[in-house]
Amino acid sequence: MNQRHLSEITRRDFLKSTALVSAGMDFIIDTSFAAPKRKQKPNILYLMTDQHRGDCMGCAGNKVIKTPHLDSIARDGVIFSNAYSSTPSCTPARSALLTGLSPWHHGMIGYGRVADKYPFELPQALRDAGYYLFGIGKMHWYPQKKLRGYHGILVDESGRAETPGFVSDYRLWFKRQAPELNPDATGIGWNDYRAKTYVLPERLHPTRWTADRAVDFIEGYNRSKPFLLKVSFARPHSPYDPPKRFMDMYNEDEMPRPYVGNWAAQYAEHKDPPNPSLWHGDLGVRQAKKSRRGYYASITFIDEQIGRILTALKKRGMFDNTLIILFSDHGDMLGDHHLWRKTYAYEASANVPMLLCWPKSMGMEHQRGKTLPQPVELRDVLPTFLDAAGAPIPNHLDGKSMLELVRGNTKNWRQFIDLEHSMCYNKDHWNALTDGRFKYIYYAYDGREQLFDLINDTDELYDLAAESAYKSILLQWRQRMVKHLSERGEQFVSNGKLVIRKKRFLYSPHYPKNS
């Protein structure tokens, strides 16, 4: 393939910096410049799934889903049982990852556009710490091929084209592999509740493409610097479109029924026929199980591909010197409480997988296989990486290194985590706090409150806010919310009370003015 043809795949500067060449339309790493490997700092494997519920892993106690490779990461490391996405939709979650900040401090308190530049960002910070950074898959920032400190990226943006002239690397690759085929031929949308078996050859699926590129990177990597490899899968976010062999692993009747709280009737109504991209509606148990079958199968497909990536690390002798983290940007309601998609305070939307496995050189062998209950959040990823790299963690970050919890340093950890989302599908913009035991939710449009006991009611079936036995607990959490929001001024707290807000408030004053 000549240089002109190759440049159509991605930018010329990107190709130079990553030394990527093409062979048979697959990307490999040119190792002709290889230098001796250094082991002073661990490699970092940064695995990310999209719209992946925290309860959808075997290691999280799910007896139906098949995730042997995710479970192996948990056995070799730890699982954080109370891991959250503070603003549970795609773009604000990615702002938290980039900045290590809370929603108010990075500026996105709802679904908007990731800022063009933040004063301190994860990729550049790790680059400055001596890492070679490479990103594969869904980035979901703007501009869409901006490197943001990565030495190279190969993107799959799920058909999303927000930058003028943008075509993802996956779609360029697909066009060359199968010029006669349509990558969207399966026929279900990016926010669809329906599930359908992938109608094209499995090798063309974006989940497979993402893993193939990651395996190529690992197999060919021989730079002297440690690497940070981001592998960001666009699934199990809809479309729920796994290949047939994964769909066949699950029986629809075995899928769990949706959880429906005693407070959820308001969300049951929907138009008939239902909009494929609806955000609420009781579509019946059978449809919820159909959706879950495709969703579970999509996760198992990802799990198999992660297994291939872990095998590649082991074959190169890199596994024992690699910090591995897996998490998602947010969850998926899947019909729970008659709700679909994300942006809600409920566990299915806000609770996410969070697995962390550390190199043998760090010790802490007695911690492997444990479940850690302290509340963690996406803002904690950046300081965790800096800790692993031996780099200073800036004082302005809201996040903390999760390696501190692995070390057993729990005394100064946060008591609870803050959650929120501005208006998106409806008028419900909310703020929430949870410590993993209780969850308090304040709906700012009309002042409603909810309180859940997550220990005795994991599925949030019973709203305790109106129960007299929980009056003092509700007051305690309300006062915590007042204190948490007080820095935002009288639009949020006035005279020591939470304020009703009728208007959408998408960006805080901290959102970078250059965006």
What residues act catalytically? Answer: 90, 140
Q: Decide: helix, strand or coil at residue 135.
A: strand
Q: In 10 A of CB 483, how many CB atoms?
A: 12
Amino acid (1-letter code) at residue 481: M
Q: Decide: helix, strand or coil at residue 193.
A: coil
Residue among 157, 149, 240 nearest 196 (CA): 240
Helices 206-220 and 285-315: angle between axes, nearest 10 degrees:
10
User: What is the end-to-end Cα distance of the chain in Å, rounded?
Assistant: 38
Q: In 10 A of CB 212, how many CB atoms?
A: 18
Report the C-alpha gap between 66 and 301 in whole angstroms.
9
CB 217 within 8 A of CB 239: no
Helix or strand (DSSP H, E) at 324: strand 322-328
Beta bridge pairs of residue 108: 507
Residue among 357, 281, 276, 271 nearest 320 (CA): 357
**Sequence-distant (≥ 6) Cβ neighbours of residue 249 within 8 angstroms:** 66, 297, 300
Which DSSP letter does residue 289 get?
H
CB 21 within 8 A of CB 153: no
Plot region of 334 (φ>0 → left; ψ -120 to 50 → alpha; else → beta): left
Residue among 167, 488, 106 nearest 155 (CA): 167
Report the C-alpha gap between 77 and 371 in whole angstroms.
9
Q: Decide: helix, strand or coil at residue 214.
A: helix
